[in-house]
Structures are given as C-alpha cells and as structure tokens.
Amino acid sequence: MLSIIGFVTILAIVLFLLSGKMSPIISLITIPILGALLAGFSIAEIGLFFDEGIAKVISVVIMFIFAILYFGIMQDAGLFDPIINKVIKISKGNIVAVAVGTVIIGAIAHLDGSGASTFLITIPALLPLYKRLKMNPYLLLLLVGTSASIMNMVPWAGPIGRVGSVLGMDPTELWRPLIPLQIIALILLMGLAFFLGLREKRRIEKLNQKLAVSSDQLEAAAALDVTDDDVAPTKDTTLARPKLLWVNLLLTLGLIAMLVWGILPAGFIFMIALSIALPLNYPKVDDQMDRIKAHAPNALLMAAIILAAGSFLGILGGSGMLDALATDLVTLLPAFIIPYLHLIIGFFGAPFELILNTDAYYFALLPVVEQIVTSYGVESTSAAYAMVIGNIIGTFISPFSPALWLALGLAGLEMGKHIRYSFFWIWGFSVVLLIIAVVIGIV
C-alpha cells in the first residue's frame, strides 16, 4: 500500500509538472502531504519528514540565491558580452558549431562532478548567445545536461560513489572500465549536437523567412560585433563596466576555482564574491540595492521551488514511500525476466529518473536487483554498470535534481517543457550507450 501511494503521489506530481496546470511550488508541497496523510502518518511525523528534506537542500538554496545575484551583477556589468561576441565571430553565426561547442564546454565545466557549478558556469555564459542566434534555450539545457551526465561517471561524482558503497568497492576501480564509454559517449553526443544544430538551423531559417529575413543576412549580422540590444532590448547599457572587465573576469575565475577546489561551501563562496562584486562595480549604496532588487525576484522564486522540492523529497523519503516503491517494482516482475533484470532496469533507467530520486535508485533499487541477478550467475559489477549507464544519462531530466532546478532558474525555463523537449532524446541516447556497453564487454 505504501508503494502504491508513493507511486500515485509521484505520478501526480510529474503529470502536473508536464501539463503546467499547477505551479511547481504548490504541487511539490501539497500532493506529498496528502499522500503521507493517506498513508496514515500524523501531522507531527510529516513535520519531521519536512525538516529532514529541507536540511538536505538548504545549502543549495543559499547557493542559488547568491549565485543568481552574483551572475546577474556580472551580466549587468557586461562581463560576458565580449566573450559572446568573440564566439559569434569565430563561429560566424554558425548554429551547428555553437551546438557542438556547447557539448565540449559542458564536459569541461563538469570535471568537478558538480551539476550545480556546471550550470552556474555554462548557463549564464551561453544563454545570451543562444538568444542572440534565436536558438531554443531548451536545446542548451539538453546538451549541457547530457554532457554533464556523461562526465558524471567520474568517481568523485555521486552515482559511482553510491555504487561503490553498495558493492563495497573502490569507486576508482569501478570508473576505469567506464572511461572508454565516456569517450565514445562524448563523440556520439557531439554527433547528436551536430544533427540537432542542423535541425535548429532549419527551424530558424523558416522563422526568418516568415519575418522576411534571409539566413544569409542573419549570419552576416551575427558575424559582426553585435550590440547589447540584440541580447536584451531592455538592457540598460549604463550599467556596463567595460573598464572593470578584467577585474570582473579574474573575480569570476577565482570563484570558479574555489568551487572546483571545494575548500569552502559553494553558498559561502558566492556570498563573498557578491560582497566584492557589488561595491566594486556599483560603489553607491542605492545602486547596489537597485541591482539586488532587480535580480531578487528570479532568485527568490526558484529558491522557493527548491525548498518545495526539499519538502517533497523529505516526505517521500522519510515516510518510506521511495524505498517501498523501489522494492515492489522489482518483486512484481515476472520470473522469466529475472536473469535479465539489470538490463531491463538499465533500459528504463532514464524514465526511472521521473519517479525515483538518486538515493532511492542506487540505495534501494540497486541492492535488490544486484542480489537477485547474481543468484543467476550475473556479476555484481555487470549489474551495477547496466543500471548506472541506463540511468545516469537521465540525471538532468529528473524533478528530483536540485541542480536541474538551478539550471531552469538560471535559464528562465520550465520543468515540464524541458522534460517534453529532452526526454526522448536522452532516453534514446542512454539506450544506445547501454547497447555499446554490452558490445564492448562492460556489461
């Protein structure tokens, strides 16, 4: 009964997120509460679950608020404008080149294994370029998220560390056989980016034809040093600080280095960086307050959504719904498919991201599957690799991912539209990688 209630609760939330008929905050807060009450938990118990969930996301919320403010200040000061103009000059407005370049940038940015810092680095820098070239921002999120998911196989990232703890193995040993697959995956993703870039170029050309603008005119304009008005017509150019460009760049590079180093909490790093950036670029207190007020709505809105997601995770995790759901999903399967259960779960790994969080998948589902298939002669590592490869590519289509909510906030996008745009591309990509893993002997 507990797993059924958990499944219905999660399904209802996913459907509401996909349909857009209920705001994320309301659905993430109210539906889990109703589910927990239906499961027989008291208000006091639900309150404890809430506390546990909020404790897990509060550091992300703090980082999110100050990161939005910091990168907003950098946008106002014009830090990314020269970079964007240079990239456009190099690509000469080549939409395909921008799409392929996004994959490379996303992979490099995710070398630290942190999804939050990856999006903080890539989205603010690339989003204006996508807007300037009229490219779909959901393509940006698809390419960065998939590239980061491939790099998420490194041992210092979350999934492999979780698998190592489940199997009692060194995560570095688990990672080494995956290195060839990562290389193959990045090459395939660049190929997919090339294809999607061509598709996007055709879409933009059709759009420009409707607007009586030829693609040649578009690319010729993009190859020039385009003004800030092309990025955002309402942007106040008086806020730009071109004389402080190198100082702002050094400050931002130092911030990124600190994020990668990890010696301080990310939220604290952004607090410090913001406290330097504001008076540096806008010495007057009134100007500082105006900049904070300008960017506060976006920061606070998405912070509220992340807190609501924390409540959601806390209630479903603390009530045991996630663990019960993970266990019952396995026990309900027919007996004749049990020897291939790890492959089947791996095949549906990406869809599982919509109904299970990372901890439930690796700490509740993986141990059960591994225990079952090893009794039929399947190696533990083979079972783990099948489940990891199938699931990890879908990391950033999951409403359970705080980093994805961060990315959506940075890009001003919606969860439901992102899932509709990216889901089948990501699922198909994960299935292809699983097949390649079987062919080359990883699984």
407: phi then psi, degrees, rounded to nearest 5? -60, -45
> What distances in angstroms separate CA 50 from CA 10, 31, 44, 297, 403, one per listed residue?
16, 13, 10, 25, 20
Q: What is the Cα–Cα distance from 59 to 223, expressed in whole angstroms?
A: 42
- Chain mean position to CA 234: 28
* pTM reported for the whole predicted model: 0.69
pLDDT of residue 230: 38
- Quick one: average pLDDT of 328-333? 71
Q: How many CB atoms lie within 10 A of CB 254?
A: 14
Domain boundaries, the chain: 58-310
74: phi then psi, degrees, rounded to nearest 5? -65, -35
Percent pLDDT > 70 in the chain is 89
213-225 tens-digit pLDDT? 554 555 544 444 4
pLDDT of residue 237: 66
Percent pLDDT > 90 in the chain is 31
Most confident of 65-69, 89-93, 235-239, 288-292: 288-292
pLDDT at 251 over 90: yes
Name residue, tokens 């990501």. 426
Q: Which residue has the higher pLDDT, 247 or 334?
A: 247
- Quick one: average pLDDT of 155-172? 77
Residues 6 or more apart whose Cβ sits within 8 Å of residue 11: 355
pLDDT of residue 357: 72
pLDDT of residue 112: 64
338-381 tens-digit pLDDT? 788 889 889 999 998 887 777 777 776 787 788 778 877 888 89
Name residue, tokens 């219905």. 8
* Strands annotated E in 299-338: none
Name residue, tokens 């009530």. 319
193-245 tens-digit pLDDT? 999 999 998 988 888 777 755 545 555 444 444 444 433 334 456 888 888 88
Q: What is the Cα–Cα distance from 170 to 240, expressed in whole angstroms?
A: 49
pLDDT of residue 231: 37
pLDDT of residue 386: 92
